[in-house]
């Protein structure tokens, strides 16, 4: 049983998803964690919110600028939210699949006032390495500058909050 309503937890999660994985504003996402929040990644270890912001900016903007997060599903259970997502790269090989993915699961614990008190991330290193290698090879063959383009072409169609708003073209 949670001291927070399901609606409050759901709304906070959707907002976090829009700010971080969709908007890729990692510094703003840090503001959605309590001061004593603990972030844990099974490979990179445990971090406080400030460390998370610095690390996430470096990881997503410098080391892997081509990587983005595609929502699959989530479940609110009390004050926890479990979410399945795909770590996605658009494929520069026109004869291959449109994107290259490896899955991950995150577990968020809601701490009230629109903030989360913990996040735990789990993903398979073997799959991450294999997909990264396939992407790198496709870039070498078809478009060496592809990572710097930061293409984000294959967002999920729904729900509306799990992808950027349409742009006028």
Query: CATH number for the domain including 46?
Result: 3.10.450.50
Residue at 139 is within a domain: yes
Structure tokens at 156: 């999920």
Model confidence, pTM: 0.94
Residue at 163 is within a domain: no
Residue at 169 is within a domain: no
H helices, E strands: number in the chain: 5, 6
Stretch 133-137: mean pLDDT, rounded?
97
User: How many structural domains compose the chain?
Assistant: 1
Residue 2: pLDDT band by 50, 70, 90 thresholds?
Answer: confident
Residue at 1 is within a domain: no
Q: Is 124 left (phi over 0), alpha (psi -120 to 50) or beta?
A: beta
Residue 30: pLDDT band by 50, 70, 90 thresholds?
Answer: very high
Residue at 10 is within a domain: yes
Closest by CA to 13, choosing from 101, 107, 95, 99, is 107
Q: Provide the pLDDT for residue 1.
A: 66
Q: Provide the pLDDT for residue 167.
A: 77
Residue at 158 is within a domain: no
Residue at 168 is within a domain: no
Full domain range(s) for residue 127: 6-144
pLDDT in tens, 32-81: 999 999 999 999 999 998 899 899 989 999 999 999 999 999 999 999 99
């Amino acid at each position: 049983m949670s001291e927070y309503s399901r609606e409050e937890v759901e709304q906070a999660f959707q907002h976090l998803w829009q700010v971080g994985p969709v908007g890729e504003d990692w510094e703003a996402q840090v503001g959605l964690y309590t001061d004593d929040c603990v972030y844990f990644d099974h490979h990179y270890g445990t971090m406080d919110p400030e460390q998370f912001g610095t690390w996430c900016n470096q990881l997503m903007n410098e080391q892997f600028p081509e990587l983005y997060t595609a929502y699959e599903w989530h479940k609110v259970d009390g004050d926890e939210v479990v979410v399945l997502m795909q770590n996605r790269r658009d494929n520069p090989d026109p004869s291959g699949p449109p994107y290259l993915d490896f899955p991950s699961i995150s577990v968020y614990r809601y701490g009230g006032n629109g903030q989360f008190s913990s996040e735990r991330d789990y993903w398979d290193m073997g799959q991450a390495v294999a997909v990264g290698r396939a992407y790198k090879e496709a870039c070498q063959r078809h478009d060496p500058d592809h990572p710097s383009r930061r293409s984000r072409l294959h967002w999920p169609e729904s729900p509306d909050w799990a992808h950027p708003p349409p742009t006028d073209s």
